[in-house]
Chain A
Amino acid sequence: MIGSGIKRGTAELAVLSVLHDGPLHGYELARRIEQQTNGALRFTLAALYPMLYRMEQQRWIRGTWETSANGRRRRCYRLTPAGKKKLTPLQREWAELFHALQRLTKVSHA
């Protein structure tokens, strides 16, 4: 299980990565992240929405209201061009961090 500190840091990357595949509303977004990480990353409502609102203020994502077939109003989030721009360096930074940690653990086990 990944610790809470690392989870917080990866949360933005997770949201941006999943939204890169297409727009989603909050609940579906949380489910998709959970499924794609085999449950390692799990967003509760309390964790998800403050982060989505903050990312929206930063203009990385944009939320628009949509009405589903059953008449339920839901806010759908999509990646903005600024969000797409943010995603690439973020992915690179995290990949570098994990590679560095992998190397470090291999050295210390040797």
Chain B
Amino acid sequence: MPDWQELVRQRLSGLALDPSEKEEVHVELAAHLEESYEALLKENVPEQAAVSAALFQVTDWQDLQRRICAAKKRGHIMKKRLHQLWIPGFLTMGLSIVFLVTLQKLGFNARIVSWRDSDIFFYAPWLVSLPFLGALGAYISSRAGGSRGTALLASIFPALALTLTFLLMFPIDMIIEPIIGRQADFKIVAAALLKDGIGWMLFPGVALLAGGLLAHVLLSLRPSSRETAIG
């Protein structure tokens, strides 16, 4: 009797899955072929013919390999995106909001700095905390196997979300104004906040990115984490 597992392993060696998952596919498919072969032997088919007939179930192993990968990875992509981007991103954003509210409650107020006829919103205590939160986001993303780009995206997620929210106010305003029949405040607020974008988005974004970059550099220096950070 042929070694079915070895036979399948040779033919599906390029299966781009985790080693444990790859092994499970090999074992499962080998068991199927073995059972087909045994059923044929029970029908008095000669051994060599039974082997050929069992293997004849797969005419193109490369195509099977590709289709198994596509089927298995469909769910993987969504799961990976959740663990590498959404969870660390939202965690970073949640913590940065909690920090901002806490600092305000503790009486740490923002400073307004004048620069070239403009007032820039400057919240030093909050900005100091952001690199740590950016680093946390990048760390969690990298630990989940996120690539450098994904880890950095997770670290600056709060600044991106804030920018997107402000930008969304314009189309929302355009929809709401004709409905309520009077001028809504969204556009005014958004325009004012965008004008202060340096303080609300650019500085926090840079602080978060600095933390994210630092965490990524530190993680990539560790040999054990280098492999998991690529993906």
Contacts and interface: CB of A to CB of B under 8 A. Distances in A.
Given A45-B29, A45-B57, A75-B24, A57 B74 contact: yes
A46 B58 CA distance: 5
Nearest to B79: A57
A50 B27 contact: no
B70 A50 contact: yes
A53 B72 contact: yes
Contact of A74 (B25, B28, B57, B70): B28
Interface residues of B, number: 24
A49 B28 contact: yes
B33 A45 contact: yes
B81 interface: no
Interface of A: 25-27, 30, 44-46, 48-51, 53-54, 57-58, 65, 72-75
Given A74-B28, A75-B24, A44 B71 contact: no
B31 A27 contact: yes
B29 A54 contact: no
B31 A74 contact: yes
B215 to A, nearest CB: 32
Nearest to B74: A57
Question: Which has the most chain B C-beta neighbours within 10 Å: A45, A51, A57?
Answer: A45
B111 interface: no
18 contacts: A26-B28, A27-B32, A27-B35, A30-B32, A44-B58, A45-B29, A45-B32, A45-B36, A46-B58, A46-B60, A48-B32, A49-B32, A50-B64, A53-B68, A57-B75, A72-B31, A74-B28, A75-B28
Contacts of B36: 27, 45
Contacts of A65: 24
A86 to B, nearest CB: 16
